[in-house]
Structure 1
Amino acid sequence: MKYPVLIILTLGFFSASLTACVPARPPADISAADPDLAQLRKDQQQLAQQVEQNRNNLLLLEAKVRDQQSLIGDLRSELATKKVTPSREIATSTRPVIAPSIVPTIVDSQNASPTDIYLQAFSDYAAGRFEQAIKGFETFLQLHAGSDYAGNAQYWLGECFYSQQQYARAVEEFQRTVERYPQGSKTPDALLKMASALTQLGQADRADEALQILRSRYPDSPAARKPLGSN
């Protein structure tokens, strides 16, 4: 009985030795064996990249929509004000207001009212024509500094420079809004935007000071509840 057991053990050892001598076969490359699967993986990667790009584009679009909604709200406010106050300003204004090259079709340079000049400058700002808007607001402020629109014009002048990333000049115009028109409807927004411009200039201490003034003087204003950097 010992011999069969010995034979079996010998054969098992011999078989294991042969197996160890045979080199291991590398795993098959699935992609090489199946070109369709490789293409599918490539398509999936491209689709994932496209989804991410579309997501980023959507975020940018949402930001632009918010900006446009803000502008529409401001324009509605200006138009509502125009219905109430222009008669007094028109009656007191007989001076030429603005060059035809700035507002060639909407404003008559000889007979335009302060209201029309203001709204034309605001329209230029909303359309991204910042240089024309700057000229319009500056002319308006030179000729009608006592107008009910003056504080808003001063604020939007600062916005024109901010939109062109001229942050130092924007700070100056927002500061004038705060100093000259402390009761103006856009003064809280001027403080918020001034803080944002100062942050862009790396002046964090001055930005914090502007925010403190905003929240202490105008605690109930919408601007006081907005985060820094919002429109």
Structure 2
Amino acid sequence: FPTGVVLGGARRRELLQWAADGGLVIEDDYDAEHRYDRPPVPALRGVLPEQVLYLGSVSKLLAPALRTGWVLAPARYRDALVDAKRLSDLGNAALPQLVLAHLMESGALERHLRLQRTRHRRRRDAMTAAVAAHLPGAAVHGAAAGLHLMLTFPDGLPCTDTELAAAALAHGVKVHPLSWHARLPHPPGLVLGYAAGTPGEIEEGIAVLGRLLREAGPPLPG
């Protein structure tokens, strides 16, 4: 996050070799359920289960307020993890966990996921088309998965990305400046979520961004 980049095959092999030599990989399978144009990347946990601590949550699939997630840990760490969890918060509420288990066992969760993928693909496609129409200088990243797009403006902006985000918010459009997520030099950009809006709302929001940029004038000199 937010680039949508997945480790390539060579990097994954290097990481697995490092773990096989005694390292421990903590694998957060972020947005794994929300993939649209290609199969999910296989989890490292399936290749080296005793060296990978695998975790995830249902925050993006159902609701963040459920506060429900999971950890699949190598056997040698399980008792320590259970003890640490018990000491930190005395455990999660049992009822949401039982409801989640029922959804999984009944097949309802899988049906919900298929419906959500269809909706989110339609919203992603609407956002991609709107960017092409209203922000023609923007490059789109991370469209294959997740619930957001990352935009960069290789030719620059007439203002900083934080100024653009503030102006958009004043017009009712909430975006993240890419600079909030960066520590190294980078092209200006934005992070745009599409999960909560209809295709029409998404198109209207991108149109507002395009209008603000046109009104601001030509890009600042590099």
**If the TM-score is normalised by the length of the shorter chain, which range does it land in?**
under 0.3
* Structure with the bigger percentage of strand: 2
Q: TM-score, normalising length from structure 2?
A: 0.23
Larger radius of gyration: 1
Q: TM-score, normalising length from structure 1?
A: 0.23
* Structure with the bigger percentage of helix: 1
The structure, 1 or 2, with the larger RCO (C-alpha pairs under 8 Å, 6+ apart) is 2
